Amino acid sequence: MIKISRKLVIIILSLILLTGCWDYEDVNNKSITISIGVDRVNNMIEFSGEKAKITASSKKEEGKAQAAEVYKVLAYGKTFEEARKHFDAESPYPIFSGATRVVVFGTRFAKQGIEPYLNRVDSLYDYRKTLLTVVSREPAKQIFDLKVEKDISVGFLIEDMLNHLSKKGEALYPNIGESLSEIASGNTCYILPYIGIEHNVIAYLGLVVMKESKLIGIIDIKDTDGILYLLSKKPILSEAIPSSKNENNIYSFRTTPKKRKIEASYEDEKVVININLDLTAELLYQYYMEKISDDEIKNMEKKISEKVRNSIASSIKKAQVEFKCDYFNFKKHFKVKYSKIFEKIDWEEKFTEAEVNVNVKTKMINMNLKDPNAKKKF
């Protein structure tokens, strides 16, 4: 109940802060969009999503407001304008879009290109440019048809899930404003979160690769660590390393980049990208308690460095060979240093042929006081 109340307060405050002055009648006659789904069905644009009806409380509590319900919406049209007209026509109250939390693009729509919709949002004053953008494996309508038990609505659930994972460094949280900035800067390649329905609940599945704002590939969640080490603001990831004495004994570590440096150079008409990553590692636990020597610590530092290096190198190779797409945005590092050369070369071609060197160093900073070698105080 506390969590639901917090959501309702956010909706109400959004209405207050983004619409200026309002009174009893304004609140009683507002239909607030919480989430939007955009998909394509039989050459038609399909809008789906959720709205919250904000109503005024009793006269004794005039000035206060509450959410009566969250309900689903669905509309179709040959164009965005036509679909929006039907979207508006089905609402008994004026629509307010300033509190929208997330836009879900269906796979069918994403494959044909999301840039027209991004530009549409950019041009409409009532949409926030910090809208979370995700791509769904299932049709967007199917996502919003799912019964939600863990949150107030599907839109809030998706936002909370991605926000939680991004703060832990386990996912990315891009918004429409960032995607528009990428496009405006000439970066034709970027990535977005990928969600879907697993065991009848909405789950984070990984990332999708967008080239010229069209979906060209999917990266499974198990293959995203190498990307997160380079693109997440503060990745905090887990690494499982087997003991050198007993392969059945696994050490679980939490790793965090202490320093991340990316440099680009141009040698013999070839792009060279050097990545240096300094990691700190904390031992969370080991499957079976055993003594940990200084040599074993050094061995684990080496193994973590090698595993992370391979993960990053594999992710970059996938971008170069499979997708031919610089979603790491190495271009910006090269362009700053070689602006004149950059104007003369085909960056996408140079990126696919670039030499990439990854160097990772790991420092153990905490054995979590569970080392059997630790001296007892009592």
- Contact between residue 15 and residue 99 where contact means Cβ atoms under 8 Å apart: yes
The pLDDT mean for the chain works out to: 85
Lowest mean pLDDT among 4-13, 72-81, 332-341: 4-13
Domains contained in the chain, number? 2
Query: What does the pLDDT read at residue 121?
Result: 83
Whether residue 360 sits in one domain with residue 339:
yes
Query: What does the pLDDT read at residue 32?
Result: 81
CATH assignment at residue 249: 3.30.300.210
Domain residues for 77?
2-222
Query: What does the pLDDT read at residue 64?
Result: 46
- Contact between residue 117 and residue 133 where contact means Cβ atoms under 8 Å apart: no
Whether residue 342 sits in one domain with residue 195:
no
Query: What does the pLDDT read at residue 366?
Result: 76
Classify residue 377: in a domain, yes or no. Answer: no
Kindly report, residue by residue over 228-279, the tens digit of the pLDDT. 999 998 899 999 999 888 888 999 999 999 999 999 999 899 999 999 999 9
Q: Which residues contact 116 (CB under 8 A, 6 or more apart)?
A: 80
Classify residue 304: in a domain, yes or no. Answer: yes
Element (H, E) at 197: strand 189-198
Classify residue 376: in a domain, yes or no. Answer: no
Kindly report, residue by residue over 167-210, the tens digit of the pLDDT. 989 999 998 888 888 888 777 899 999 999 999 999 999 999 99
Which one, of 266, 280, 287, 270, lies nearest residue 339 by Cα?
Answer: 266
Which one, of 125, 132, 128, 141, lies nearest residue 102 by Cα?
Answer: 132
Whether residue 199 sits in one domain with residue 327:
no
Half-sphere exposure (CA, 13 Å, Cβ side) for 223? 14
Classify residue 80 as exposed, middle or buried by CB count within 10 Å of its CB (0-12, 13-18, 19+).
Answer: middle
Whether residue 233 sits in one domain with residue 206:
no
Element (H, E) at 300: helix 294-318
Whether residue 121 sits in one domain with residue 105:
yes
Domain end call among 222, 238, 269 = 222
Query: Region 299-327: what's the mean pLDDT?
Result: 96
The reported pTM is 0.84
Residue showing tokens 């955009």: 38
Element (H, E) at 49: strand 44-56
